[in-house]
């Protein structure tokens, strides 16, 4: 990124040169701005000697998004829609969760989320897509987590949620309380890694308890950015690192303070993370005791393969799915305390009812 400003000066002069060829030969490009072209003026609203953009670039480079690991899966169709820039744009265009494989793909970058270089003005900082999310697990439904803020709305959660959601699986649960069996062909059956948007929304769990899961209302008050892009400390937490905590800084509770003024040094507000971690551990043990969970690999207990499917009742798979949701969510109840608590308790109650 340090080379950017150098490339920039060349590119800016290049652009002006191309822009001028119609009018005849052009002399050597002058220093930034001395050719007096309008395009240059709007370019420099972002590309200038100020630090705003540079700060964001360095923070973002430290994020997991910008890491090579994110992009590996771009070369697989069906994965690229969330693991690459190109796949994401394809998904937005087609509205389909089925995306092509991309080699030489770009990682999720500035222009995945912003409309960079579309008008070449600061209006290009606009977020690319904040439309409601049609979740993969039920694409006919629509979830809108836009929050009203002073002077407008914040649709960040809908942007992030287009990727941070569960995936659909085969076989699919049709009756969460069903005691009939489904034949599963992979130990990796489950919601996949990033169901955070669904958790925030209070959606995506299979409800098999005696009463429906309740929900906390972070979704009506905070978007992903309020917490994940809170006050930054270097390239460790906050801002465009999207990171919540680090070894150097601990938990970035500065992000919570505007709303929870008395929060301590950790995210464990009211002991809720401790409580959820306890319920999670209890359910984990019970699932393992009943041969549903392989605790070493944290997958369904095998042997399971395409040629050797294993049968689980729908209700058992529902409990397992919800366990995976909490596991993959990784906020231990912060995204949605009540929803997380209720789905874990319902699972524990069911497991306790087994002989
Ligand atoms: C809204 C702010 C904004 C404006 C206006 C803008 N750019 Fe950019 N530009 C960016 C961002 C953000 C990047 C990507 C930086 C990164 O990925 O590290 C970028 C990257 C670049 C690059 C590096 C190569 C690339 O495409 O990533 C060039 C060259 C460039 N811009 C030229 C221009 C020119 C020429 C103009 C005016 C015609 C312009 N930019 C206007 C924000 C802007
Ligand atoms: C184009 C899809 C996409 C979008 C949009 C997206 N993410 Fe991600 N995000 C990913 C993927 C894929 C990873 C996994 C990276 C890895 O582990 O290699 C990830 C990782 C992360 C991580 C790091 C998790 C870890 O393991 O530490 C955080 C935090 C995060 N995203 C937050 C956000 C927020 C907040 C937004 C919205 C401002 C957002 N993401 C938008 C796809 C996306
Ligand atoms: C609906 C969007 C979506 C799709 C489709 C998707 N992923 Fe992901 N994936 C994510 C998100 C979001 C994360 C990061 C979640 C987190 O860190 O909490 C992630 C994380 C990962 C990770 C990193 C886990 C880790 O421990 O860091 C791997 C590996 C992965 N995905 C593989 C795949 C593969 C393989 C496919 C295709 C078969 C795929 N993903 C399809 C959204 C998706
Ligand atoms: C995962 C999505 C995501 C990525 C990738 C991303 N941003 Fe952002 N960015 C946001 C969100 C969300 C906001 C805050 C919402 C807003 O202000 O519209 C924001 C705000 C900004 C702002 C402030 C805009 C304003 O109107 O004041 C700048 C500048 C910015 N980003 C630069 C960058 C640069 C440079 C990159 C690439 C290095 C980048 N962003 C990558 C999501 C992203
Ligand atoms: C109310 C604050 C809050 C909101 C809103 C929020 N998060 Fe989180 N998120 C957290 C906390 C706290 C953690 C746990 C961090 C830890 O313990 O290190 C977390 C964990 C995560 C993780 C796991 C990786 C990590 O950083 O630990 C991802 C990925 C993530 N959130 C994505 C999202 C997305 C996407 C959204 C919006 C759909 C969102 N979050 C909304 C607070 C929030
Ligand atoms: C924009 C405001 C806002 C931000 C930022 C915010 N919260 Fe909240 N939080 C709320 C509101 C409002 C509630 C109550 C929701 C309800 O009534 O269901 C809440 C509830 C909670 C709860 C459930 C409390 C309980 O005992 O039921 C926890 C835990 C929590 N927040 C943790 C956090 C953490 C940790 C952060 C920072 C990472 C954070 N919140 C950031 C507004 C916010």
The distance in angstroms from the start CA to the end CA of the chain is 61
Instruction: Tell me how far the alpha carbon of residue 329 lies from the centroid of ligand 5, in angstroms.
Output: 8
Contacts with 165 (C-beta within 8 Å, 6 or more apart), sequence order: 133, 135, 136, 137, 194, 195, 196, 197, 198, 204
CA angle, residues 343, 349, 354, in degrees to nearest 5: 130
* Residue 181 to residue 173: CA distance in whole angstroms: 10
**Residue of 270, 139, 143 lying closest to 201 (CA atoms):** 143
Contacts with 277 (C-beta within 8 Å, 6 or more apart), sequence order: 332
- The encoded tokens of residue 314 equal 């729908």
- Model confidence band, residue 68 (pLDDT cutoffs 50, 70, 90): confident
Ligand number nearest CA of 1 is: 1
Query: Which tens digit of pLDDT belongs to each residue from 140-166?
Result: 999 999 999 999 999 999 999 999 999
Substitution site in 202, 238, 327, 335 for ligand 5 pocket (most atoms within 8 Å of beta carbon): 335
Instruction: Tell me how far the alpha carbon of residue 134 lies from the centroid of ligand 3, in angstroms.
Output: 18
Query: Which tens digit of pLDDT belongs to each residue from 171-218?
Result: 999 999 999 999 999 999 999 999 999 999 999 999 999 999 999 999
Q: Ligand 5 pocket, 227 CB below 6 A?
A: yes
Max CA distance (Å), the chain:
88
Query: Which tens digit of pLDDT belongs to each residue from 37-58?
Result: 455 789 999 999 899 999 999 9
Q: Ligand 4 pocket, 76 CB below 6 A?
A: no
Q: Ligand 5 pocket, 184 CB below 6 A?
A: no
**Residue of 209, 238, 180 lying closest to 322 (CA atoms):** 209
- The encoded tokens of residue 215 equal 């929900």
Query: Which tens digit of pLDDT belongs to each residue from 100-144?
Result: 999 999 999 999 999 999 999 999 999 999 999 999 999 999 999
- The encoded tokens of residue 204 equal 């995506």
Closest atom, ligand 6, to C-alpha of 272? 29
Instruction: Tell me how far the alpha carbon of residue 281 lies from the centroid of ligand 3, in angstroms.
Output: 23
Q: CB–CB of 165/88 below 8 Å? A: no
For residue 70, what pLDDT is reported? Answer: 86
């Amino acid at each position: 990124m340090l080379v950017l400003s150098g490339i920039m000066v060349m590119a800016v002069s290049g652009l002006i040169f191309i822009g001028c060829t119609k009018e005849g030969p052009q002399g050597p490009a002058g220093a930034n701005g001395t050719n007096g072209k309008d395009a240059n003026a709007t370019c420099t609203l972002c590309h200038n000697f100020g630090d705003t953009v540079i700060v964001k670039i360095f923070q973002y480079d430290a994020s997991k998004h910008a890491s090579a690991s994110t992009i590996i899966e771009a070369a697989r169709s069906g994965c690229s829609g969330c693991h690459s820039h190109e796949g994401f744009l394809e998904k937005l265009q087609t509205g389909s969760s089925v995306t092509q494989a991309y080699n030489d793909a770009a990682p999720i970058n500035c222009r995945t989320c912003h409309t960079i270089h579309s008008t070449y003005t600061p209006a290009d900082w606009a977020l690319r897509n904040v439309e409601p999310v049609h979740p993969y697990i039920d694409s006919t439904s629509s979830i809108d987590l836009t929050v009203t803020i002073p002077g407008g709305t914040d649709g960040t959660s809908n942007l992030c949620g287009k990727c941070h959601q569960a995936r659909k699986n085969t076989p699919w649960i049709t009756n969460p309380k069903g005691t009939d069996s489904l034949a599963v062909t992979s130990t990796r059956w489950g919601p996949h890694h990033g169901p955070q948007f669904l958790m925030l929304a209070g959606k995506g769990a299979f409800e098999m308890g005696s009463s429906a899961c309740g929900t906390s209302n972070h979704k009506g008050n905070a978007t992903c950015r309020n917490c994940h892009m809170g006050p930054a400390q270097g390239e460790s937490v906050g801002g465009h690192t999207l990171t919540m905590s680090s070894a150097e800084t601990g938990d970035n509770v500065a992000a919570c303070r505007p709303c929870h003024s008395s929060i301590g040094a950790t995210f464990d507000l009211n002991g809720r993370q401790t409580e959820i971690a306890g319920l999670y551990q209890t359910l984990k043990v019970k699932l393992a005791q009943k041969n549903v969970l392989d605790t070493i690999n944290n997958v369904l207990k095998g042997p399971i393969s395409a040629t050797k499917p294993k049968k689980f009742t729908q209700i058992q798979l529902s409990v397992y799915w919800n366990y995976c949701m909490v596991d993959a969510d990784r906020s231990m109840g912060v995204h949605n305390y009540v929803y997380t608590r209720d789905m874990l308790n319902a699972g524990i109650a069911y497991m306790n009812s087994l002989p």
